[in-house]
Amino acid sequence: MCTLLKMLAYVTKNGSILNNDLTFSLILSSHFHFFPCQGTWLSPRRWLNLQEYQSKKLMQESGVAVQRFYVADTPSEALEAAKRLNAKEIVLKAQILAGGRGKGVFDSGLKGGVHLTKDPAVVGELANKMLGFNLTTKQTPKDGVKVKTVMVAEALDISRETYFAILMDRSCNGPVMVGSPQGGMDIEEVAANTPELIFKEVIDIFEGVQDDQALRMAANLGFKGPLQRQAADQIKRLYDLFLKVDATQVEVNPLGETPEGQVVCFDAKINFDDNAEFRQKSVFAMDDMTESDPTEMEAAKWDLKYIGLDGNIACFVNGAGLAMATCDIIDLHGGKPANFLDLGGGVKERQVYEAFKLLTADPKVEAILVNIFGGIVNCAIIANGITKACRELELKVPLVVRLEGTNVHEAKRILTESGLPITAADNLDDAAKKAVAAIKK
């Protein structure tokens, strides 16, 4: 079951899961999430990595109200940005993709990746202790992540915080607005403890957000008088952004109200539809891969979906569901999966070869289990790819193969006549047992 929970992060593509009455809401953010299980910590795949300032820039371009900000790569640039802001108070934020920055620690000795100050000179001093140093938070690797950029922004007081999101909901066959007057906290807690404070508006994909819907949502969020119209305007602009960038989710927490009577989006998470990359070139060009796992990046080049785990049996599977089942059955028989590798459909021999290169490059791997059900996939192509990889890579670890489906008899003939030390399995349970036994030997 624990492996199933881990794989959920991949299967949902960091999306949102909401039931119809919204008594339970799970929103997986675009930041890292970790699933602890039997000492295992997993960083699931994210489909597009944008830094905070990049998301704010997209919002700004759509007319959404955000704090004034600048981006700096050096302490001198940060100091100059602070002076240019000419603000009463300034907030300096280290730009990394992991959450928990405020409570993080730099290897320079500085505590906290988010700092407030009224003195521009202090911004330069703080940036000098941030840039080029590793920031460690509860969501980063043990050694932290190097900070290469900081955001220098105007600090605004917040008199009230609300929550607002637009996301795709399958039960409604399109986008919905979800809001709550209880913002600045985990929306999951609000949904669980006070579900009556969660409000939902279904959006007609052809008509868009109507004025009465936006005003009703603004009222439900607690905005009154002129602020209600201002909030409704921000809601409509956020929906425009949602459509413009092919988002699957735009989550603003908090959507805040300032003492001066402004409605401002203080923090936002945007999830994008990876299928829209072909028409969102400028957005996907901003993808920050510096913090991504190198193996995942290499896998993506060959259209392979890879997630590293901490076991020693490599899984080579087609289809997310079959991959999850394979990982679970390995665990059931006393083994530990070393990875989650989904070949998907339309596989070519070269992909199989590159997949084996990735798997054998992991020093933890002591056995490889291939589990293919050939529906779209031609098993003979898999078999040819396996034999090529085994010979050219001089495979040193035990290999167990279970093939079923399209052209399986030809595939088994190819493997048998190859003369390679490949262990055949009749079914998934048999394959898992043989892979675990191969390691014990």
Instruction: Tell me the average confidence (pLDDT) per consecutive run of 10 residues in the chain, 441 residues long.
Output: 41 37 29 33 51 93 96 97 96 90 94 96 97 92 92 96 95 94 88 95 96 98 97 98 95 95 92 90 83 75 86 91 92 94 81 92 95 87 94 94 93 94 94 93 70
102 is in an annotated binding site: yes
The CATH code of the domain that includes 80 is 3.30.1490.20
Q: Could you confirm whether 163 is annotated as catalytic? A: yes
Pair 183, 144 in one domain: no
375 annotated among ligand-binding-site residues: yes
Domain assignment of residue 167, yes or no: yes
246 and 218 inside one domain? yes
**141 shares a domain with 78:** yes
- Amino acid 287: pLDDT: 80
Q: Is 204 annotated as a binding residue?
A: no
In a domain, 124, yes or no: yes
Within a domain: 279: yes
Does residue 385 sit within a domain?
yes
pTM: 0.67
Question: What CA–CA distance (Å, rounded) separates 337 from 436?
Answer: 10
- Evaluate whether 129 touches 145 at the Cβ level (below 8 Å): no
156 has binding-site annotation: yes
User: Does 222 belong to an annotated binding site?
Assistant: no
For residue 27, being part of any structural domain is answered with no
Instruction: Please tell me whether residues 142 and 275 are part of one structural domain.
Output: no
Tens-place pLDDT, residues 46-76: 457 788 899 999 999 999 999 999 999 999 9
Separation between Cα atoms, residue 401 and residue 417, nearest integer Å: 14
147 is in an annotated binding site: no
pLDDT value, residue 142: 87
Examine residue 127 and state whether it is found in any structural domain, yes or no.
yes
Q: Is residue 10 part of a domain?
A: no
7 is a domain residue: no
Active-site residue among 10, 53, 161, 163?
A: 163
Q: Quickly count: other Cβ atoms within 10 Å of residue 6's Cβ.
A: 22
Q: Say if residue 170 is in the same domain as residue 280.
A: yes
In the block, tokens 């293919």 appear at 372
Q: Which of these is catalytic: 52, 251, 296, 366?
A: 251
Considering only CA atoms, give the Rg of the chain.
25
**Same structural domain for residues 164 and 97?**
no
- Considering the domain architecture, whether residues 118 and 238 belong to the same structural domain is answered as no
Q: Does 86 belong to an annotated binding site?
A: no
Q: How many structural domains compose the chain?
A: 3
Look at residue 47 in the predicted model and tell me its pLDDT: 59
**pLDDT at res. 186:** 79
Among residues 104, 119, 154, the one where a domain terminates is 154
Give the domain CATH number at 358: 3.40.50.261
Q: Are residues 261 and 313 in the same domain?
A: no
State yes or no: 371 annotated in a binding site.
no
- Is 134 one of the annotated binding-site residues? no
Instruction: Give residue 100's pLDDT.
Output: 82
Structural domain boundaries enclosing 212: 160-285
Last residue of a domain, one of 108, 125, 154: 154
